[in-house]
Structure 1
Amino acid sequence: TLGRCLESVRGVVDEIVIADTGSNDRSREIARRHGATVFQIAWEQNFAKARNLALARVRADWVLVLDADELLDPAAKELLPPLLAHPTAMGYLVQIRNYLLDLNCHLWDQKAKPNDSTFECVRQYPAYVQHENIRLFRRHPDIYFVGCVHETVGTRLLEAGMKISAGNFLIHHLGFIADDHALHRKWEFYRDLGRQKLRDRPEDANAHFELGLEELEHFRNYEEALRLFSRACELNPRLGVAWFFRGLALARTGRHHEAIESFKRAANTGGKMDAVHENMGDSLYNLGRYESACRSYEQALDLLGKSPQIESKLGLAEIRAGGIEEGLARLRRVIEQEPHSAELHDRLVAACAWLGRLREAAEAAEAKLALAAPQIEDFMRAASLRAQLHDWQIVINLLNRGLDRFPQSAKLREAFLEAERQSVRAETERKGDEQYQQGNFEYARRYYLEAIERLGNQPQLESKLGLAEMRMGRTHQGLVRLRAALEKDPQSAELYDRLMGACLLAGRPEEAADAAERKLMMVGPHPDSYLRAASLRALLRQWPQVLNLLQEGISHFPDSIRLKTALDEVQAHILPMSQA
């Protein structure tokens, strides 16, 4: 990347000075070919010292600082001369675009933005996060770098009371476009230097903050990051960004009440307000305070004007606050605005699933496969939703597509084989259901047995088999199967209903009533369940039990008209009998 870096400043700068800290590749040859002055220095685990040695060799009036993995934007050639001619400016804050390989990435307190650059060298990257740093400054004896890592001349400019102005050109940073192993080595290197900086400057709030960022963002060491951010806030209570990241660390450890208080301090000390409101909304959402979360997201949107990500969060909060259709419409609208964002699709899938709208959730998951860059888990989730709908052929097709994309995935292969088995079972079971409905109980029994032989003795199949055997006259055998199925899945309402029907068919209303009451205990209360249990006890003329069941049902469901009506009818029936 050094060659591209130096090529980007051709015709823009008067001299190029490079301090080589021990390269073992062709860097020095490349630098000299571009007309650079190259000199060797010892690396002493201190970026500021290395940069200051290079700075001492500069002869130009102004200094432009670029790293080897950075490029100067072509427009800078026309934009720089007026900046250099400014009579009082001593340094310029320059916007630096950090390019990323995924639009769903976060960096520091920012979400990635779609790359809109037309610069040939960077337009292939999908996203970036922008920050600013003083990269252009006058050569002056009082201006030099400070800090063994995250070094800056800004500290010196501020201490000397020198004017810092806003630059109007870009630097493009490609340092995050690397494989995971290389990035991890880079993060470890920076963390080691950050620890050294902290040893050298133990009372420096910024040193604590910078190391906290490394621990939070690159190592997910949230407790250590929290300790560092908290110390930064103690050393400089006006450091709003430290309060903000302290809130993030608290939120990531699930301490949302404390996080909200830290975000409030950030807001009062100059924190980035749109990020403050967004993350406060996240904590409020996680605490179940959905209406308050909506207000925080709306405040963030008021500041930003437009953000599909935050609007998507707002839609989810609206749904949980009761505005279901409004929230769903918002979630779908933001996907239209940014169809390639995986995170937006995930929120719509989660919302539909939470609402019990499984078909809509499945359709949303499949839309993500078509529009966003799908991963193995995306195919698995889409297939799982279709499996819950028993759409087995669609499940198989989805997993097939996943295997085409990820042929080495054992997880997808295993799910595909299971889906094929379930598809065969479902088809065999369907044929058994058809025969049962037509009264062909012997054929139904055969299909159910075949399905069990293929996939094992599943409770639902065993229950259907038991019912078919009952209708064939094999009462004892059928009831044994129905009860065995319930032992395997004691919380299935459907299995209890089949056992009740079978007991009535066999002329055993007492056993049917017992099954109805056990369903209430194991599956949970429901008005229909109380009514059915009461009707079975009424069939047995067990009126005290009938009254108890209806009164218990009303205690659970005081607004149920049907339960109250049934109680009135039973009491009207019992009263004449008691008077007689």
Structure 2
Amino acid sequence: MKLSFCIIAKNEAHQLGECLQTVGKLVDEMIVVDTGSRDGTPEVAKNMGARVYEFSWCDDFASARNAGLKYVTGDWVLVLDADERLMEGIIPQIRGLINQEDYLLINLVRQEIGAVQSPYSLVSRLFRNHPDLYFSRPYHALVDDSVMEILRREPQWRIGSIPEIAIAHYGYSADAIAEKNKQQRACEAMESYLKQHPDDPYLASKLGALYVQLGKLSAGIDLLEKGLKQASGIEGGTMYELHYHLGIAYSKRGQLEVAEAQYQKAIAVNVFPQLKIGAYNNLGNLLKGRGNLKAALWAYETTIEIDPLFSLGYYNLGMTLRAMGNSQKAIASYQKAISLNPHYGEAYQNLGAALLGIGNIPDSLKAFQTAISVYEQTNPPEAKRLKKTLSEMGWRL
């Protein structure tokens, strides 16, 4: 089977080459749709062997992606963004699945680099080059709507998924979001689409979550609750997102029992375990805050069972163990979090406190000094506060 790669890009010269390099060993052709670059993006693409086409940007990601689909010649299509990388280890599985005759779409697990609480998502980026398959929605463009229509007419097809991480996404760091003003663009695009599609549970999950993130709790809760009422028969990912973001919203509103119930419902949804890490972690935070340390311990332990590289899980586990009086295990958990994330200021600081609690003054001082050093790069006010606290204790730094 011939596999085509398709991407839209604007002013991505600094990272497009690396993206294309990760797919070069897998795909048979690369199509780049440039939406108005001024930084040499087309030249980078051409130098990597891609064919480049121009598209006049119209504030609609689906239209831009569909423009690219017109130029693909392969039997299958892989779609990424410039801030995404294909994991090399997933290539054999992709090759094996696209050679099977009955798959229409293969969902891929994406690791959200910098998204601390929800480090994984499931994306529909690998699909057969079917004449009736296309992207819809101006923001969060996806092929799922057309896939469902095709399946209703042609039930011989099936949808598959690869549970291992296939894509690394670097677009969710605070700097990247601020640079591209993603939140404002997302709001405007989704609100416009909502006027035309008021009964769309997927849109409710995305826009409702954004409202909650922006502090518009009432609007977010209303939209997410409406999405649940519309959600009969929808795929698991959207159902999970609705419950998960309602948990966040009710937690911010102080309705902790309601929030806990929403996280429990999110955990019960039938999706890949990696996608549930955010719900387990937030549930643990609620349980710990309410004094149910044993249940919180279970929730945090579940996050690291699912993903042994989840540094936040080890940090939260350390905080809970310390609250339970188990300093030695707490220290080990902090150290594991630090080994996974050497720039984890909070882990160093709490490691220092735990070491101080068992009388290990030299190692405690080293941990506090490292915490200050990290904070000076990432959180200067916290570095100043910690210095003052230690100075008041009579420590010389």
- Secondary structure of 2:107 counterpart: strand
Q: Give the 5 Å matches for 1:113-512.
A: 129-161=119-151, 162-167=157-162, 170-176=166-172, 179=175, 182-183=178-179, 185-217=181-213, 219-236=214-231, 239-270=239-270, 273-298=276-301, 309-320=312-323, 323-324=324-325, 326=326, 328-339=327-338, 340=342, 341-348=344-351, 364=364, 366-370=366-370, 373-375=374-376, 376-391=380-395, 394=396, 398=397
Tell me if 1:25 matches 2:39: yes
> What TM-score do the two structures reach when normalised by structure 1?
0.54
Please give the alpha-carbon distance, in whole angstroms, between the structure 2 residues aligned to 1:148 and 1:68.
Answer: 18
Alpha carbons of structure 1 residues 203 and 10: separation in structure 2 relative to 1, 3 Å? same
Runs of 4+ in 1 over 6 A off after TM superposition: 350-353, 358-363
Tell me by how many angstroms 1:12 deviates: 4.1
Alpha carbons of structure 1 residues 200 and 306: separation in structure 2 relative to 1, 3 Å? same
Which one has a larger percent strand, Structure 1 or Structure 2? 2
Are the aligned partners of 2:75 and 2:128 in contact in 1 as well (CA < 8 Å)?
A: yes
Please give the alpha-carbon distance, in whole angstroms, between the structure 2 residues aligned to 1:14 and 1:387.
Answer: 62
Please give the alpha-carbon distance, in whole angstroms, between the structure 2 residues aligned to 1:317 and 1:10.
Answer: 45
Please give the alpha-carbon distance, in whole angstroms, between the structure 1 residues aligned to 2:121 and 2:177.
Answer: 24
Tell me by how many angstroms 1:206 deviates: 0.8
Are the aligned partners of 1:142 and 1:156 in contact in 2 as well (CA < 8 Å)?
A: yes
Alpha carbons of structure 1 residues 203 and 346: separation in structure 2 relative to 1, 3 Å? farther
Letter in 1 for 2:109: Q
Alpha carbons of structure 1 residues 6 and 380: separation in structure 2 relative to 1, 3 Å? closer
Are the aligned partners of 1:62 and 1:84 in contact in 2 as well (CA < 8 Å)?
A: yes
Please give the alpha-carbon distance, in whole angstroms, between the structure 2 residues aligned to 1:61 and 1:181.
Answer: 34
Alpha carbons of structure 1 residues 245 and 365: separation in structure 2 relative to 1, 3 Å? farther
Are the aligned partners of 2:334 and 2:350 in contact in 1 as well (CA < 8 Å)?
A: no
- Secondary structure of 2:29 counterpart: coil
Q: Give the length in aligned residue pairs.
A: 361
Are the aligned partners of 1:358 and 1:389 in contact in 2 as well (CA < 8 Å)?
A: no
Tell me by how many angstroms 1:149 deviates: 1.2
Identity, % of aligned positions: 24
Tell me if 1:83 matches 2:97: yes
- Secondary structure of 2:38 counterpart: coil
- Secondary structure of 1:384 counterpart: helix
Letter in 2 for 1:215: Y
Please give the alpha-carbon distance, in whole angstroms, between the structure 2 residues aligned to 1:264 and 1:57.
Answer: 45
Please give the alpha-carbon distance, in whole angstroms, between the structure 1 residues aligned to 2:315 and 2:261.
Answer: 24
Structure 1 stretches lacking a partner, 5+ long: 111-128, 399-580
1:48-101 per-residue CA deviation (whole Å, 9 max, x = no partner) reads: 12211221222222112122333444556655543332122222223334444x
Tell me by how many angstroms 1:226 deviates: 3.1
Please give the alpha-carbon distance, in whole angstroms, between the structure 1 residues aligned to 2:165 and 2:389.
Answer: 49
Q: Select the structure of larger CA radius of gyration.
A: 1
Alpha carbons of structure 1 residues 299 and 23: separation in structure 2 relative to 1, 3 Å? closer
1:294-316 per-residue CA deviation (whole Å, 9 max, x = no partner) reads: 45445556666786643543454
Match of 2:78 in 1: 64
- Secondary structure of 1:94 counterpart: strand
Are the aligned partners of 1:65 and 1:135 in contact in 2 as well (CA < 8 Å)?
A: yes
Tell me by how many angstroms 1:360 deviates: 7.0
Match of 2:18 in 1: 4
Are the aligned partners of 1:316 and 1:351 in contact in 2 as well (CA < 8 Å)?
A: no
Match of 2:7 in 1: none
Alpha carbons of structure 1 residues 282 and 175: separation in structure 2 relative to 1, 3 Å? closer
1:160-211 per-residue CA deviation (whole Å, 9 max, x = no partner) reads: 3332223478334343468467535133222322222222211111101112
1:435-479 per-residue CA deviation (whole Å, 9 max, x = no partner) reads: xxxxxxxxxxxxxxxxxxxxxxxxxxxxxxxxxxxxxxxxxxxxx
Q: Give the 5 Å matches for 1:35-114.
A: 35-74=49-88, 80-100=94-114, 106=116, 109-110=117-118
> What TM-score do the two structures reach when normalised by structure 2?
0.76
Alpha carbons of structure 1 residues 12 and 285: separation in structure 2 relative to 1, 3 Å? closer
Are the aligned partners of 1:95 and 1:132 in contact in 2 as well (CA < 8 Å)?
A: yes
Structure 2 stretches lacking a partner, 5+ long: 1-14, 152-156
Please give the alpha-carbon distance, in whole angstroms, between the structure 1 residues aligned to 2:208 and 2:278.
Answer: 18
Which one has a larger percent helix, Structure 1 or Structure 2? 1
Give the superposed CA RMSD: 3.6
